[in-house]
Amino acid sequence: MANSVHQQSDTNSGASSSTSLLKDVGSPPHDSAITHVTGKSEFIDDRPVVKGELHCGLVYSPFARARLKLLDLAPALQIAGVECAITAADVAHNMWGGIFADQPIIAAGETHFVGEVVAVLGAQSKESLAQGLAAVVAQWEKLPDIRSIDEAVAQESFIGHLRTISRGDAQAALKSSPRTLAGVLKIEGADHFYLESQAAIVYPREDGQLEVHSSTQHPTETQHVVAKACGIPFSDVVCVAKRLGGGFGGKETQASPFAAYAALVAKRTGRAARIVLTKDEDMIITGKRNPFQIHYECGFDDSGKILALDAMLYSDGGAYADLSTAIMERALLHCDNAYFIPCARLRGQVCRTNFHPHTAFRGFGGPKGVAMIECIMEDIARVIGRDALDVRKLNCYGSGRDTTPYGQLVENNCLPELFETLEKKCDYRARRDEINQWNNDIKRNPHAHPRGLSMTAVKFGISFSTRFMNQGNALVNVHTDGTLQVSTGAVEMGQGVNSRIAALVAEQFGLPIAAVRIMPTSTEKNANTSPTAASAGTDLNGSAAVIACEKIKQRLAALACALRGIAQEHWPTKTAGLGTWPEISIANGAHAFTVLPCGLFDGANAGGAGSNTKNKTLVEFRNSMVVVSEPAQPEFKIDFAQLVREAYFNRTSVSDYGHYATAHLTFDKIKGQGRPFLYFTQGVAASEVELDPYTGEIKVLRVDMLMDVGRPVNHALDMGQVLGGFVQGMGWVTTEHLVYNDNGLLVSHSPSTYKIPSVQDTPRIFNVDFIENLGNTVNVRATKATGEPPLLLSISVWTAVRDAIASARSNVSSELIPLAIPATAERVLRGLSPEMFAQWDAPSIP
């Protein structure tokens, strides 16, 4: 069956009374689309090698935990072309971390995961570097290690404290519930598998300054880690991130030490230093999505309505904290997902093991909590003999049942409508009957392929759960030819944040998007920025850019009002050179006017700003013009670029800085109560799968998705995020299996052993629609983030696999089917034929 992507449908097809399906009315392309396909986009390793530049390589531990008994670098330094060797003794401040500074940049004495760096070499060529690394003499004493959550719990090897979010008395509610079920869900990690590995180049500048070009999602943190490692002030380091060849969270924190390695070599030698990991090195050294082990008990009534949930979440943080405690927090905050839970006790504990420190990954901890509750929904349905969709709809957030366990009101709630609309659009009921009949028929034919169908939801909170990180800044420079340069803290890593911000700025000034150039992210223009993460890149930085634009617009509007009453021969461009006419004053409200709003209110409120603007002087930026109008007067129009030139000759600033801080955030981390999120992005997806009973292969036959993305800035880019996020999530829940050997080394560290989705794995039929929703007025232009939420809808593929297995093998309708994530081919076969594997798994008799 041929693949298809259906991106929009008839507005009236299946739409509910208060929402309609959103059509793409035309979206400008990604700002790097042409340079990507022509091979002209510049990434870190595309930068030309400068004279004297050195290549950096790493010496790291081959064991999960070990003592370094001997490290002899002298033989390496004798290799021609090897210029220097850096160890922990050369690091001015050797501890770093995203939350807790508990990880050494370069380890000394004892190492705690395979890949922990103990030395850095700098060499003139890749060949001499390879020879130098091979010449290093290191002797190790292998030490006892911890490489499972169960071991960590038994030894109380923890990172941070136990976290709790609760509402009501969950224990009492469980005891009084008519029905209960309990289970353990094991969720393994996944590799980010970005196409551009960790990379950085550092250029020494005069007076001890360093210019760092890094493939990082967090230029500010990279700047700070480099400065501390080198023992210099933050102001002596500039970090630049032009674009990334993918990040997905893997470069939020973990890019920083690699930049520090190159910086230490550059500082020691006074020469440029480049570090670019191979895919193998990257996968071995860097952390993954945190593995989780979730123990839960749920109480419910005979209809399937949840009465209580008690869940204990353990995560594998790896050897150091990184962001694991924040990831656990988001997992707890998403255990409810789309469903009202009247009594809940949600607890979480991060475990310290001897794996690479795990880190941020698209969705952060959200997918873990969502997987748990969606698993519970399926199991409740099986226990009571109802369709799982009916159980989900019964428990869905709605009127009077719209407050989360942590106390946030679910505002702008589209979930009931999303369920109802997609149920009709994808013909769920008829397909469910067909699949049930198909599976009943194949029970008489063991060679047939069982099928499963499942519809899951997502309610993903948008904001960093740590309040101070919810801020952004932007610098907007308007040039006298009417074009603009915009600098923000957002990092372009393929998701299109540059194009979105450019569209917001262009809209503010009524200009074509081609007039706006987004500059490379640089800490000298935008300092103290948050990482581009949490799906908040456009929200934070785009809002800051709009604020800067509004400041500039106010000055330009005032000048336009003044020019209206002045003869053109007296305008600044005609008189300022010789000083024949006084400058125009625009201060102190000399001209009363109202600038018509752009964005959300264009068309809704602008032309009909009606009674609010009646009898007022109005200024509008549209179609590259600035238009001044007032009652009983002809319109005054001036070309935008001409107005900017008049402003320059009038010594009126056409540059400004905007700072944005997300409002309404009140979450108390100690109490586990409050409002951690500005809003929720919502969606539903129905997935149909077919299983091969001989190989365990999963074929995703069809996926139907319906997302609430507010009012998109760029429909096409949002569609790309939704499609890509879902497929990436499919890899996590099906094929992407991390395999480690007895020393703790990741052995699936290349494309030949680690299976990410390919075009052959994408759904045979892939229908995606957006609903129109203008209700998210708390965010810029009524948009909603699309970076992470769609990934969580891929859980519908996993629950569909569980449905297929249960339908294929169960003679008892209420039998529950345990299935870990990822549902690999082996696990599918074990689910379909557990008795076959039982004989192989049984201990052999001597």
Residue 341, sorted as left (phi over 0), alpha (psi -120 to 50) or beta, turns out to be: beta
Quick: pLDDT tens for 158-176. 999 999 999 999 999 999 9
pLDDT value of position 612: 62
* Cα 686 → chain centroid: 23
The SS3 assignment for 594 reads: strand
Determine contact, residues 355/152, Cβ cutoff 8 Å: no
CB count in 10 Å sphere of residue 556? 26
- DSSP for 678-722, please give it: SEEEEEEEEEEEEE-TTT--EEEEEEEEEEE-BS-S-HHHHHHHH
Residue 811's pLDDT band (cuts 50, 70, 90):
low
Print burial letters for 427-444: b (CB count within 10 Å at least 16), e (below 16). ebeebbeebeeebeebee
What does DSSP assign to residue 36? H
**What is the C-alpha separation between 662 and 530, in angstroms, rounded?**
12
Q: How confident is the model at residue 255 (pLDDT cuts 50, 70, 90)?
A: very high
**SS3 call for 752:** coil
- Could you report the per-residue pLDDT of 673-713, keeping only the tens digit for each? 999 999 999 999 999 999 999 999 999 999 999 999 999 99
Q: At CA 773, angle to CA 771 and CA 779, rounded to 5?
A: 130
Strand blocks (E) in 252-323 = 273-276, 292-300, 306-318
Say yes or no to pLDDT of 539 above 80: yes
Q: What is the CA radius of gyration of the chain?
A: 29
Sheet with 199-204, side-by-side order of all strands: 82-86, 117-123, 54-60, 273-276, 199-204, 210-214, 237-241, 521-522
How many angstroms separate the Cα of 621 from the Cα of each of 169, 606, 654, 711, 738? 57, 11, 15, 21, 54
Q: How far is CA 388 from CA 381, 423, 428, in A?
A: 5, 12, 12
Per DSSP, the residues of 511-550 read: --GGGEEEPPEETTTS-SPPPS-TT-HIIIIIHHHHHHHH
Tell me how far apart the alpha carbons of residues 193 and 843 are, in angstroms, rounded to a whole number: 37
Say if residue 822 is preceded by a cis peptide, omega within 30 of 0. Answer: yes
User: 668 forms bridges with which residues in the sheet?
Assistant: 673
**CB within 8 A of 172, min separation 6: which ones?**
343
Residue 546 has pLDDT above 60, yes or no: yes
Determine what percent of the chain is predicted with pLDDT higher than 90: 88
Task: Report the candidate in 539, 487, 471 with the shortest Cα–Cα distance to residue 713.
Answer: 539
H or E stretch covering 772 = strand 765-772
What domains are there in the chain, each with its CATH number? 1-17+425-459+681-846 (3.30.365.10), 45-145+198-285 (3.90.1170.50), 146-189+288-403 (3.30.365.10), 471-661 (3.30.365.10)
How would you class 331 by CB atoms within 10 Å of its CB: exposed for 0-12, middle for 13-18, buried for 19 or more? buried
In this prediction, residue 20 carries a pLDDT of 64
Secondary structure string (H, E, C) spanning 461-481: EECCCCHHHCEEEEEEEECCC
* Alpha carbon distance 838, 843 (integer Å): 10
Q: What pLDDT is recorded for position 613? A: 62
Band the pLDDT of 601: cuts 50, 70, 90.
very low
| CA-CA-CA-CA dihedral for 810, 816, 820, 824, to nearest 10 | 10
Predicted confidence (pLDDT) at residue 6 exceeds the cutoff of 50: no
Distance, in Å, from the CA atom of 407 to the CA atom of 154, rounded to the nearest integer, reads 33
Asked if 332 and 388 touch (Cβ cutoff 8 Å), the reply is no
Instruction: Specify the pLDDT at position 142.
Output: 98
Distance between CA atoms of 332 and 405, rounded to whole angstroms? 10
Examine the pLDDT at 202 and tell me if it is beyond 90: yes
* 414 neighbors 773 (Cβ within 8 angstroms): yes
Specify burial of residue 651 (Cβ count, 10 A radius: 0-12, 13-18, 19+). exposed
pLDDT at 580: 95
Note whether 481 and 517 are within 8 A (CB): no
pLDDT band at residue 813 using 50, 70 and 90 as cut-offs: low
Mean pLDDT for the chain? 93
Confidence label for 16 from pLDDT (cuts 50, 70 and 90): very low
Q: Specify whether the CB–CB gap between 179 and 812 falls below 8 A.
A: no
List pLDDT tens digits, range 433-472. Answer: 999 999 988 877 767 899 999 999 999 999 999 999 999 9
pLDDT of residue 844: 60
Query: Which of 583, 635, 788, 826 does the annotation list as catalytic?
Result: 788
Q: What is the mean pLDDT of residues 229-251?
A: 98
Average pLDDT over residues 608-613: 49
* Percent of the chain at pLDDT exceeding 70: 93
User: Stretch 272-301: mean pLDDT, rounded?
Assistant: 98
Question: Is the predicted pLDDT of residue 801 greater than 50, yes or no?
Answer: yes
pLDDT of residue 808: 86
d(CA 537, CA 532): 5
- Does residue 621 contact residue 478 with C-beta atoms inside 8 Å? no
What span, in angstroms and rounded, lies between the C-alpha atoms of 725 and 796? 13
Q: Which amino acid is at 681?
A: T
175: which strand partners?
Answer: none
Which residues have CB under 8 Å from 282's CB, separation 6+?
197, 198
Task: Enumerate the H helices of 109-199 as residue ranges.
Answer: 126-135, 149-154, 170-176
Listing DSSP states for 49-115 in one string gives: PPTT-EEEEEEE-SSSSEEEEEEE-HHHHTSTTEEEEE-GGG-SS-EE-SSS--EESS--SEE-STT
Tokens of 496: 């299109």
What tens digit of pLDDT does each residue of 95-128 get? 999 999 999 999 999 999 999 999 999 999 999 9
Which of the two residues, 443 and 506, has the higher pLDDT score? 506
Residue 810 to residue 715: CA distance in whole angstroms: 44
Alpha helices in 208-353 (DSSP H): 219-230, 256-269, 279-285, 324-333
Q: Is 446 helix (H, G, I), strand (E, B) or coil?
A: coil
For residues 813 and 816, give the distance between their C-alpha atoms in angstroms, rounded to a whole number: 9
Question: How would residue 18 be classed by pLDDT, with cut points 50, 70 and 90?
Answer: very low
Signed CA dihedral, 350, 355, 358, 361: sign only:
negative
Three-class secondary structure of residue 811 per DSSP: coil
The yes-or-no verdict on residue 768 having pLDDT over 60 is yes
The pLDDT score that the predictor gives to residue 622 is 96
Judge whether 410 and 680 are in contact, CB under 8 Å. Answer: yes
Q: Nearest-CA neighbor of 406 among 180, 176, 680? A: 680
Q: Coil, helix or strand for 391?
A: helix
Establish whether 141 is a catalytic residue: no
Distance in angstroms (rounded) separating the CA atoms of residues 830 and 686: 25
pLDDT band, residue 27 (cuts 50/70/90): confident
Confidence check: pLDDT of 602 > 70: no
